Amino acid sequence: MKERLMTLQEEAVEKIEQASSLKELQDIRVEYLGKKGPITEVLRGMGKLPAEERPKMGQLANEVREVITTKVESKQEKLEREELDRQLSNETIDVTLPGRPIRQGNAHPLTAVIEEIEDLFIGMGFSVAEGPEVETDYYNFEALNLPKNHPARDMQDSFFITEDLLLRTQTSPVQARTMEKHKGKGPVKIISPGKVYRRDTDDATHSHQFMQIEGLLVDKNIRMSDLKGTLTLFAQKLFGEEREIRLRPSFFPFTEPSVEVDVSCFKCNGAGCSICKRTGWIEILGAGMVHPNVLEMAGFDSKEYTGFAFGMGPERIAMLKYGIDDIRHFYANDLRFLEQFKRA
Ligand code: 2NL
């Protein structure tokens, strides 16, 4: 019986050492130490032994069981450690790999130009004003000295929603609304950037929806020279310190007198080139002294107050500044176009 026990121990230890997985080890433990295993069997057979041998044999059987149990436990620990090491090495993170670049967007070129213009005027004490894109006939036309059936309305083909509502054709209604809120007391000093709409057929230089920035200054003793000085600074900020402006007589229903404003050509410095069509001058905006009718309708006494106003198309400014040849590029959302205007 003693020999049988020693053989079992040897056999079991051998198998345990060979075991290569936790499952295999578990099976070996059950095989040798389980209720139906050989050790239990040996212990059951003890009844047949002479009484004086029983304690010795019992002790030996327990020792064998103890040896196998300890072996299984240490082997189990070893296998578990190996499994963990394997997992850890499979899951290693290579911290030296370069990171994936985060795609960074940039401001739309129109947004960049509009914000540059806003910054300039904010720097001169103007505020930025906004208003509705769906406007009443009154604020879009009548309050700007364009009564119903006036022929000057033909200059702005419009999208009407009802008899009395339309998509604004200019941002001037924002100026009219702001003047009204001041209840006849100056100064009013605002610029109004925003979307405007005209019933035009889209081509390289026309769009049914485009941006406009208008400016308005109403106070006592505002003169044409204030307009010229303000717009000179504007032209120099956008097109270079050496620029000059020139005013040519024009007509707008809401200003009197009215002027077109040209900037000396930033490409040829006035000598004449293809950009300025050999004139040395580039038209950049329209302006004038606010018509007394417009001041009166908005609640200002035109004997006490005067003002200047101007309006420009940021698309045109951006096209000139960056040499863009088609207004439709601004609205096509083509990244090959948009990514060329990363702001510093
Ligand atoms: C242009 C010309 C202009 C104005 C806009 C204005 C607004 C009020 C009163 C008087 Cl409330 N004037 N705005 C004045 C002159 C010209 O725009 O060619 N824009 C693209």
Residue 297 dihedral angles phi and psi, to the nearest 5°: -60, -30
Per-residue pLDDT tens digits for 120-132: 999 999 999 999 9
Query: Phi then psi for 28, rounded to 5 degrees?
Result: -65, -40
Question: What per-residue confidence (pLDDT) applies to 91?
Answer: 87
CA of 79 to the centre of ligand 1 (A): 85
Residue 81's pLDDT is what?
92
Ligand 1 neighbourhood includes 290 CB (under 6 angstroms): yes
Tally of CB atoms within 10 A around 99: 5
Q: Is the dihedral of CA 223, 224, 225, 230 positive or negative?
A: positive
Q: Is the CB of 178 under 6 A from ligand 1?
A: no
81-96 average pLDDT score: 88
- Asked whether the bond before 187 is cis by omega within 30 degrees of 0, the reply is yes
Task: Find the 162 Cα to ligand 1 centroid distance in Å.
Answer: 25
Between residues 156 and 300, which one has the greater pLDDT? 300
DSSP state letter for 160: B
Residue 177: pLDDT over 90: yes
How do strand 127-128 and strand 188-197 relate by DSSP bridges? Answer: parallel
- Rounded to an integer, the average pLDDT of 183-196 is 96
The reported pLDDT for the residue numbered 343 is: 67
Nearest residue to 126 via CA among 134, 118, 115: 118
Nearest to 168 by CA among 232, 211, 127, 225: 211
Residue 236's pLDDT band (boundaries 50, 70, 90)? Answer: very high
* Distance (Å) from CA 215 to ligand 1 centroid: 8
Spatial separation of the C-alpha atoms in residues 283 and 147, rounded to whole Å: 28
Residue closest via CA to ligand 1's atom 8 equals 172
Atom of ligand 1 nearest to the CA of 176: 11
- Percent of the chain at pLDDT > 90 equals 61
Summarize the confidence of residues 148-173 as an average pLDDT. 89
- Of ligand 1's listed atoms, the one at least distance from the Cα of 258 is 15
Residue 283: predicted pLDDT: 95
Of 53 and 285, the structure prediction assigns the larger pLDDT to 285
How do residues 328-344 score in pLDDT, each as one tens digit?
Answer: 999 999 999 999 987 65
pLDDT computed for residue 344 by the predictor: 59
Say whether pLDDT at 155 is over 80: no
pLDDT digits (tens, 9 = 90+) for 277-325: 999 999 999 999 999 999 999 999 999 999 999 999 999 999 998 999 9
More confident call, 259 vs 5: 259
How far is ligand 1, taken at its centre, from the CA of residue 287, in Å? 6
191 lines ligand 1 (CB under 6 A): no
Say if ligand 1 is within 6 A of residue 190 CB. Answer: no
